[in-house]
Amino acid sequence: MIIPTFNEAGNVEELLTRLAAGLPAHLECEALFVDDSTDDTPAAIERAALTCPFPVNVIHREVPTGGLSGAVVEGMKAAASEWIVVMDADLQHPPSLMPELVETGRRAGADLVVASRYAGGGSHAGLSGRYRVAVSRTSTLATKALFRSALRGISDPMSGFFAIRRSTVHAHSDILKPLGYKILLELAIRCRPRVVAEVPFSFQERFAGESKSTVREGLRFLAHLVSLRTATPVARMVVFGLIGLTGFLPNLCGLAALTAMGLHYLPAEVVANQFGVLWNFLLIDLLLFRDRRGHRHWADRLGRFALLANADLVLRIPLIALLVDGVGMSVLPATALALLTTFVIRFIATELLVYLPRRGQAKDAAAPPARAEAEGREKEGTP
């Protein structure tokens, strides 16, 4: 059982008590808490583990990379059992259901079993207030619309309570990019389990502490959706183009403001174009290439992006002239073809020149497992 925790000291003892009470004698298990807490949650886990009938271990992370999803993935990498069950520590996921998730998976030959609030007999009664219910419903509908194929058979892709075969995770562990708190979405889309089953459950009231659902987590969720939806080059190109279209608004607003101040329209066009470039860079950097921002300093990325965006203008005019005067095309088709050509070139150049890691970084990125293993051995004092 992988249980991510962030300041859940008041829930740990009750959680382990309920897990022990609902555990069948034939089902061997281990609880692994992956903890990002700033309170005494690790100490509370250690105290509760003393009287627990099954092994309890803790991985405490000083740097909570990837948020809750990152914690779950780190726990999965340490797991050795056939089945991995993921659940929250706040008791909104009923611990007594854990054995049924595993047994359902075994009977159905499933790779993934989801505890669903929206399957027949399930309930989201534990969600506090109409706002959270509305957010949950809207997020679920939007996610299923975006990923119809990958989420077929999953009525509750926002669930944080599920069982998955370790082999399904480990076969795709190199492509997992966890972010935020919706780890099931990440696993379902990137790992593509062949057989999915569901078990209905009633979402409970939080036992102790406060909800970790914040506006910031909501924004991370949106960023995660964009990252998943743009995993292929074609999808990235489409979103790149859509973001580029939104850049016309700051461009035109800047042009109107500058000309109203008395600036000649030609230099105003050049300056206003930079407003659109900056707007496009911020959205592309935040949404489209979020996972590659660490390859270069932000100023380096912005400078390269701006250079490419302005070079687009310089390249487009001679290309239009060549198509009109050299090939004999009319102005409008020539302009459309030039726009399309320079757009594709700019997208490819942005990927290669702005967000592709440097050579040294690429080699480093290919070697982390061996390095991490060596560092772990060094810390443990083993050869």
- pLDDT over 70 percentage in the chain: 86
Q: Residue 362: its pLDDT value, please?
A: 47
Give the residue-averaged pLDDT of 116-139: 74
Write phi, then psi, for 377 (nearest 5 degrees).
-65, -40
Q: In this predicted structure, which of 50-64, 202-216, 334-348 has the lowest mean pLDDT?
A: 202-216
CA distances from 315 to 302, 312, 318, 323, 378 (A): 20, 5, 6, 13, 54
What average pLDDT does the structure give for the chain? Answer: 82
The ranges assigned to domains in the chain are 2-212, 233-365
Looking at per-residue confidence, does 32 or 142 come out higher?
A: 32
If you count them, how many residues does the chain have?
A: 383
Q: Residue 211: its pLDDT value, please?
A: 66
Q: Residue 209: its pLDDT value, please?
A: 64
Q: In this predicted structure, which of 34-48, 98-112, 216-230 has the lowest mean pLDDT?
A: 216-230
Alpha-carbon gap, residue 205 to 128, rounded angstroms: 8
Q: Which of the 8 DSSP states describes residue 358?
A: P
What pTM did the predictor assign?
0.64
Q: Look at residues 368, 266, 350 and name the one whose alpha carbon lies nearest to residue 311.
A: 350
CA distances from 83 to 72, 86, 169, 195 (A): 14, 10, 10, 14
Could you tell me the fold of the domain covering 2-212? Spore Coat Polysaccharide Biosynthesis Protein SpsA; Chain A (3.90.550)
